[in-house]
Amino acid sequence: MVTKQEIKLIKSLNQKKYRQQLGLFTVEGVKGIVEFLNSDFKLNRLYTTEQIFDAPENQTLEISENDLKKITSLKNPNTALAVFEIPKSVEADKKGLIVVLDDVRDPGNLGTIIRLCDWYGVKDLICSSNTVDCYNSKVVQATMGSLTRVNILYVDLREFISNYEGTVFGTYMNGENIYTANLPNEGIIVLGNEANGISDEITSIIDRKLTIPQFGNSKDTESLNVANATAIVLSEFRRRTIER
């Protein structure tokens, strides 16, 4: 049975300040939990309605579906919830492609971008301090386990980019056509806020502006969703490496 103290602690992890204070976050669903159990992330506690996980017995508690409903953040809870420790940050190696996010706020967008980084072999994802927390439960859910394979850092973007020695690309409505631009194997790719794009402060230190051209006749669509844009941009960069 889940105690009131455990329920209070788990519920508190829905807020960023408590995740940071306690150094803990939650993962829900069998697939996601298995991904984290098979990674370097350290398990704090596993709550499950079925004993189907390969996890230490002293860290596993079998609970009822009613108890699971008390601790879940989902409308339809899925078998289990696990609490993991937030690992210490690892410095980016600044090699290969690096994705940088300037104030991306939507959890679903960040989760999808993390999955895209995993898919396209981007090891480091650099975020501004105002970008949504990667340990937000909605972000964790959207990553489908990719959070275990992408190194995510929250930094002062201007300082990070200013200290980078390679080419810094930015995505804009106006710039070089990404389909015809000469794209290297390495570099920083900056993507901006859902509503406002890349900030003026960061724009001032961008080397090359890239754009994904619009082919439709209607001009009502103002821009692409930032996660969709990330998919196209990473696909183009990686495609060039195959063609060389």
pLDDT tens-place values along the chain, 244 residues long: 899 999 999 999 999 999 999 999 999 999 999 999 999 999 999 999 999 999 999 999 999 999 999 999 998 888 999 999 999 999 998 899 999 999 999 999 999 999 999 999 999 999 999 999 999 999 999 999 999 999 999 999 999 999 999 999 999 999 999 999 999 999 999 999 999 999 999 999 999 999 999 988 766 667 799 999 999 999 999 998 776 5
Q: How far apart are CA 160 and CA 204, in angstroms?
A: 14
Token pair, residue 34, equals 């298995």
Is the model's pTM score more than 0.85? Answer: yes
DSSP 8-state symbol, 7? H
Q: How far apart are CA 46 and CA 44, in angstroms?
A: 7
142: CB partners within 8 A, 6+ apart: 107, 108, 110, 111, 112, 114, 115
The string over 194-232, giving b where at least 16 C-beta atoms fall within 10 Å of a residue's C-beta and e elsewhere, is: eeebbbeebeeebeebbbbeeeeeeeeeebbebbebbbe
Token pair, residue 98, equals 């690096």
User: What domains lie within the chain, and their CATH numbers?
Assistant: 4-85 (3.30.1330.30), 97-243 (3.40.1280.10)
In the chain the first and final C-alpha atoms are separated, in Å, by 59
Amino acid identity at 22: L
**Ramachandran angles phi, psi of 131, nearest 5°:** -70, 145
Helix (H, G, I), strand (E, B) or coil at 168: strand
**Ramachandran angles phi, psi of 46, nearest 5°:** -120, 125
